[in-house]
Structures are given as C-alpha cells and as structure tokens.
Amino acid sequence: MIKKEVIYNGNEKQFFATDDPDKVIIRYKDVAVAFNNVKRARFEGKGELSNKISALLLGYLRDCGIRNHFIERVGDNEQLCRRIEILPIEVIVRNRVAGSLAARLGIEEGLKPDNLIVELRYNDDELDDPFINRDLAVALGLVSYAEIDGIVAEAKKANEVLKDLFHRIGIELVDVKLEFGRATDNGEIILSDEVSPDTSRLWDEQTGERLDKDRFRLDLSDVVASYRNVYERLTTVLKEN
Ligand code: C5P
C-alpha cells in the first residue's frame, strides 16, 4: 500500500490517501485536545499508544461481528482503514454517569443506573456539538430512521463487547463515544474513527483510578503512563494485529 498526500489534518489524527481510492492511512499524533479544542498539549508516545490500543479494540470488535473501518496496523503510529464518509453524529453510550452528563444534571460522578444511556450529538465544533435525537438526525438529512436505529443498536452491541473485554483486565468501561460513516466502496454504514482512552472513560476496577483522557482534562498527570497501562493490560488478552 503506497501512502500518498494528506487529505485531512485533524487535531489528533492525520489522514493520508493511498494508491487505493477506498483506503486511507490514519496517523495518530502525539497531541491531546479537550473542551472543544480550548485545551491542547503534546504527549510524547501518546500517538503510538492510542494507535495500538485502537487497532487492538477495532480488530477485536471486528472479530466479534461488529464491522468497522479498521483493516490493519501498518506502523507504530499508523493504521490502514477503509475510506469512510463520516456521519457528523457522535453516539455516546454511558454505563455510568460521569463527565459532561454529571455536570449537566448536577449529579455526582459514579451513579450506575440499571439501564444504558445513549446520547446523540451533532458533531460541529462551532456549535459545541449540540445534542440531537433520532428525529433531528433524520430531519437534518444525515440518515434514515432505519439507519439511525441500526447505528444505535450497533453502538450498544459494541459497548457490551468492550465492557466485557475491559472487565477481563480489571477495567470498567464507564462510557464510550462512537462514530459511524458510509464506506466509499459499497456505501454500507459501519463503525469508524477510533476507540481508545481518548474516546472512552476507563476506571480501574480496584482503585477507581482514571486511565483515560480525563487525566489530561483534569490535570491529573501520568497521561501516557495510564495509556500504556491500558495497552499492556489489553495485550495480555488480545493478539496484536
Ligand atoms: O464529556 P462527556 O462526558 O460528554 O464525554 C462522554 C464520552 O465521550 C467520554 O468517553 C469522552 O472521552 C468522549 N468524548 C469524545 N469526544 C468528544 C467529547 C467526548 O470522545 N468531543
């Protein structure tokens, strides 16, 4: 696979064209951003760890029947993926109340309801990613009702698979943000983007220690060490791909 020009330069990831029009190489940078890009910092080694973790998790999800854009890891910081027209919808699945949900409702972080909470947000930095619902997703012309229902069902399935996997390594999956898009080769809607400590909350089951991007958001230090901890635990149960 020949890596060609940059087609999109994001805050934390860079996308390269390849000699196959339906495949891209995604490079994970040593950068963290938070609070709608207000907070930003460089962390040596974070890109490699996020790439490796995301590759392990997307590969595992694929093995569990959750189709996604990941094909293979092609370097420490890079992975080959199917090219996707990403839908501007963030699907957040919450197993426990934390983060912006706790702040918004004035609830202390940690409440664990019996049901799952699914939130949909319209991915638009200028609007600060406003909440939408399935009617709005259809009204905005982004998806059909059948498609958004399929996306939410797939997100819930992915959450279950990831929750069980993390539990095997002593980590609780508190929440996860998932993005979907249409593959350019056949138009199917599949899971894409990344799944990593940047896009999920991961709490150590024994100590409650945060092993995710909240370490950066909340100035807790040891960001890279926490990501390495997650990666090393994952490699005890998953094979590199
Ligand atoms: O901040 P909030 O509680 O809404 O985040 C919910 C989940 O979505 C967290 O796992 C967080 O890391 C993730 N998230 C994300 N990208 C954003 C906002 C939140 O991956 N822009």
Give the distance (Å) from ligand 1 centre to CA of residue 1.
33
Give the distance (Å) from ligand 1 centre to CA of residue 105.
16
pLDDT in tens, 199-220: 999 999 999 999 999 999 999 9
Residues 71 and 97 grouped into a single domain:
no
Residue 125 lies in a domain: yes
How many domains does the chain divide into?
2
What radius of gyration do the chain's Cα atoms show? 17
| Largest distance between two CA atoms of the chain | 51
Encoded tokens for 184 = 């350019």
pLDDT in tens, 90-135: 999 999 999 999 999 999 999 999 999 999 999 999 999 999 999 9
Instruction: Calculate mean pLDDT across residues 31-38.
Output: 94
Residues 169 and 184 grouped into a single domain:
yes
Please check the confidence at residue 240 and state whether its pLDDT lies above 90: no
Question: Can you give the three-state secondary structure of the chain, one letter per residue?
Answer: CCEEEEEEECCCEEEEEECCCCEEEEEECCEEEECCCCEEEECCCHHHHHHHHHHHHHHHHHHCCCCECEEEECCCCEEEEECEEEEEEEEEEECCCCHHHHHHHCCCCCCCCCCCEEEEEECCHHHCCCEECHHHHHHCCCCCHHHHHHHHHHHHHHHHHHHHHHHHCCEEEEEEEEEEEEECCCCCEEEECCCCCCCEEEEECCCCCECCCHHHHCCCCCHHHHHHHHHHHHHCCCCCC
Instruction: Calculate mean pLDDT across residues 12-34.
Output: 98
Residues 137 and 208 grouped into a single domain:
yes
pLDDT in tens, 45-79: 999 999 999 999 999 999 999 999 999 999 999 99
Residues 125 and 166 grouped into a single domain:
yes
Ligand 1 atom at minimum distance from 102 CA: 3
* Per-chain mean pLDDT for the chain: 97
Residues 109 and 39 grouped into a single domain:
no
- Atom 14 (ligand 1): residue with closest C-alpha? 199
Residue 239 lies in a domain: no
pTM of the model: 0.97
Pocket test for ligand 1, best of 193, 199, 223, 226 (most atoms within 8 A of CB): 199
pLDDT in tens, 156-174: 999 999 999 999 999 999 9
Residues 99 and 119 grouped into a single domain:
yes
pLDDT at 145: 98
Give the distance (Å) from ligand 1 centre to CA of residue 161.
19
pLDDT at 206: 98
Residue 20 lies in a domain: yes
Residue 236 lies in a domain: no
Residue 233 lies in a domain: no
- Atom 20 (ligand 1): residue with closest C-alpha? 199
Residues 98 and 167 grouped into a single domain:
yes
Residues 90 and 78 grouped into a single domain:
no
Please check the confidence at residue 9 and state whether its pLDDT lies above 90: yes
Ligand 1 pocket, 100 CB below 6 A?
yes
182 strand-pairing partners: 85, 189
pLDDT at 177: 98
Ligand 1 pocket, 199 CB below 6 A?
yes
Please check the confidence at residue 241 and state whether its pLDDT lies above 80: no
- Atom 4 (ligand 1): residue with closest C-alpha? 100
Residues 76 and 90 grouped into a single domain:
no
- Atom 15 (ligand 1): residue with closest C-alpha? 199
Q: Given pLDDT bands bounded at 50, 70 and 90, which one contains residue 1?
A: confident
Residue 41 lies in a domain: yes
Domain containing 67 equals 3-82
Residue 141 lies in a domain: yes
Ligand 1 atom at minimum distance from 177 CA: 8
Residue 229 lies in a domain: no
Ligand 1 atom at minimum distance from 175 CA: 10
Ligand 1 pocket, 201 CB below 6 A?
yes
Ligand 1 pocket, 200 CB below 6 A?
yes
Percentage of the chain exceeding pLDDT 90 = 98
Residues 73 and 138 grouped into a single domain:
no
Residues 95 and 196 grouped into a single domain:
yes
Residues 93 and 69 grouped into a single domain:
no
